[in-house]
Amino acid sequence: MHFTTWLTFFFAACVIAVSPGSGAVLSMSHGLNYGVKKTSGTIMGLQAGLLLILAIAGAGVGSILMASEFAFSVVKTVGALYLIYLGINQWRARVDVVTDNDTASVSTQVPSMSRRFLTGFLTNATNPKGIIFMVAVLPQFISHDAPLLPQLLILGVTMCLIDLVVMHGYAFAASSMQRYFRDPKWLKSQNRFFGGVLMAIGTALFFVKRSPSS
């Protein structure tokens, strides 16, 4: 792979990572609720989901999904329903007021590390937009004159490292606002805001169309 090809992919991956999406919303939501350190588990799950989509596209399965209306619709529906499910859970998240020595503080229940990782993984792994990007864009950066696997590894590592930094940036930005959301009413409002955004993104996925097969 030529350096100029990699550099072009680097900038393309930066634009994709920074663009607001379900992963960014999830990172901000968990960052605000659980802090950056605990959100790292969620973000690692997001990267695992990205790697799965990369492997699917590299194996050619992504092309089959894009060519088959039924297969693409199944993936799209599962992804949309999962985001709506996450949104409903976020909307209904319980807010606890903990009293310690006459001092009241607000806390939220933190899911286990494995639960946070799985949430991140499924968010990206069931995202049809990710499949569209991989199948439509990834081949433009792969040389047919060189072995496929090393190129996929380079592109995959590049993409995950960029997304890792960007998602932690979103989580950090959100967590820095935690002190403004100590009031139970505010915390409940932000849960409903992020829950509503996730449900809106999930609903929008129902309208995603596959690229017409050539």
Q: What is the DSSP letter of 1?
A: -
**Does the pLDDT at position 95 exceed 70?**
no
125 HSE (CA, 13 A, CB side):
15
What pLDDT digit, counting tens, does each position of 187-212 carry?
777 778 878 887 887 787 787 676 55
Pick from 29-43, 70-84, 85-99 the range whose average pLDDT is largest. Answer: 29-43
Structure confidence at residue 183 (pLDDT): 62
Residue of 42, 29, 10, 28 lying closest to 169 (CA atoms) = 28
pTM above 0.75, yes or no: no
Coil/strand/helix, residue 103: strand
Paired residues of 139 in beta bridges: none
**Does the pLDDT at position 136 exceed 60?**
yes
Coil/strand/helix, residue 97: strand
Structure confidence at residue 64 (pLDDT): 65
Query: Residue 99's pLDDT band (boundaries 50, 70, 90)?
Result: very low
Structure confidence at residue 189 (pLDDT): 77
Cα 110-114-120 angle, rounded to 5 deg: 85
Query: Residue 103's pLDDT band (boundaries 50, 70, 90)?
Result: very low
- Look over the chain and give the mean of its residue pLDDT values, rounded to a whole number: 79
Question: Higher-confidence residue: 213 or 165?
Answer: 165
Question: Higher-confidence residue: 31 or 185?
Answer: 31
Average pLDDT over residues 93-111: 55
What pLDDT digit, counting tens, does each position of 146-200 carry?
787 888 889 889 989 999 999 999 999 888 877 665 666 777 777 788 788 878 8
Q: What are phi and psi of 176, to 5 degrees?
A: -65, -15
